[in-house]
Amino acid sequence: MYCPQTAENSAPLFDYRRWKSELPDLAKQYASNKPLPHLLIRGFLDDDLATAVAEEFPGAGSQAWIQYKHPNERKLGLVRREKFPARLGEIVDELNSPRFVSWLSQLTGISGLVADPSMEGGGLHQSTRGGYLNLHTDFSHHHHRRDWKRRINLILYLNPGWQAGWGGEIEFWDAGMRSCLVKYPPTLNHALIFNTDERYFHGFPEPVSCPDSQSRKSLALYYYTVEKDARNAPRSTNYRSRPADGLGKSTLIWLDKQAVDLYSRAKTRFGFSDEFASKVLGLISGKK
């Protein structure tokens, strides 16, 4: 059973002693994994802590969720730290701490990483039955800090009892979009860390088929480097169709990608938030 931290019990939420001792081997694996540098870490947190965090994950019915519902994705998002349950918030704070970011820099070989406390585009994600995220490469720069270049994604999965038949595996495809090279299920307490790359596409394009009582849950955190020339080459999320998607679906994916690009540019220029977009999408879908 997980015991919350107290003055007498002040062990960090991330086991630095364990993971620092394994860091040299993990860094080698990270650099050598294909198709891009990445690493799946099983047992990322203490198992009891991960279970406790999963149990407090907000239900899909909460009004706090942002609605990401358009042709290229169907999921919910929550970035407002003050809306997080207590232990989830503590995990976010730990994984955004200088100590963890230093460990992450050593793992990935990227110096100067900075965390994003605003969790722009990240935070809690949830996909109910039928949810999906089409294959894509990620936006390249923070929308509100234009000299922040996105470098690393960390996704912590929080799905106890997830069944293989429900789908939801994150897929990594080759640069030519010919085939999926590797995929990982969203298993509880597995963390996937990978480079943000404009060449290799990832996502879970097949709709999840979990029961209505379940959902695909994760915590996503993004890390950046500060680069003075980064503002010269922003790139929005680049969705791509699969070879078997067909002309109609491929066209819809492309058209929606153009709309996302326009929104991203407006968001950067005028400071729009995803909560604003969620309200618009909610009105369109008949939600209040």
Express each pLDDT in 143-169 by its tens digit: 888 889 999 999 999 999 999 999 999
Tokens describing residue 8? 């007498």
Q: How confident is the model at residue 267 (pLDDT cuts 50, 70, 90)?
A: confident
SS3 assignment, position 177: coil
Q: Assess whether the previous peptide bond of 35 is cis (omega < 30° from 0).
A: yes
Task: Tell me the average pLDDT across 245-249.
Answer: 96
- Is 80 exceeded by the pLDDT of residue 30? yes
- Of the candidate ranges 50-54, 208-212, 234-238, the one whose mean pLDDT is the lowest: 234-238
Q: State residue 4's pLDDT score.
A: 54
- Of the candidate ranges 114-123, 125-134, 230-239, 258-267, the one whose mean pLDDT is the lowest: 230-239
Q: State residue 136's pLDDT score.
A: 97
Residue 254: name the closest of 264, 242, 239, 232 by CA: 239
Whether this prediction's pTM lies above 0.75 is answered by yes
- Of the candidate ranges 75-84, 214-223, 232-241, the one whose mean pLDDT is the lowest: 232-241
Q: State residue 10's pLDDT score.
A: 47
To the nearest whole number, what is the mean pLDDT of the chain?
90
Residues 6+ apart with CB under 8 A from 111: 105
Burial (CB count within 10 angstroms: exposed 0-12, middle 13-18, buried 19+), residue 235: middle
Higher pLDDT, 12 or 249: 249
Residue 65: name the closest of 210, 179, 193, 215 by CA: 215
Burial (CB count within 10 angstroms: exposed 0-12, middle 13-18, buried 19+), residue 133: buried
- For residue 58, give the DSSP letter: P
Q: State residue 235's pLDDT score.
A: 87
Q: State residue 256's pLDDT score.
A: 92
- Is 60 exceeded by the pLDDT of residue 243? yes
- Is 50 exceeded by the pLDDT of residue 7? no
Q: State residue 233's pLDDT score.
A: 67
Check: CB of residue 80 under 8 Å from CB of residue 120.
Answer: no
Distances (CA, A) of 60 to 72, 83, 235: 20, 14, 30
Q: State residue 228's pLDDT score.
A: 80
Tokens describing residue 226? 């500060």
Q: Report all structural domains of the chain as residue ranges with CATH numbers, in order of start.
A: 25-281 (2.60.120.620)
Distances (CA, A) of 225 to 112, 123, 212: 6, 19, 40
- For residue 59, give the DSSP letter: P
Task: Tell me the average pLDDT across 195-218.
Answer: 96
Distance CA 6, CA 28 (A): 36
Q: State residue 131's pLDDT score.
A: 98
Higher pLDDT, 235 or 212: 212
Distance CA 134, CA 196 (A): 16
Annotate 68-115 with three-state secondary structure.
EEECCEEEEEECCHHHCCHHHHHHHHHHCCHHHHHHHHHHHCCCCCEE
Check: CB of residue 277 under 8 Å from CB of residue 259.
Answer: no
Cross-strand partners of 174: none
Higher pLDDT, 284 or 71: 71
Distance CA 88, CA 51 (A): 11
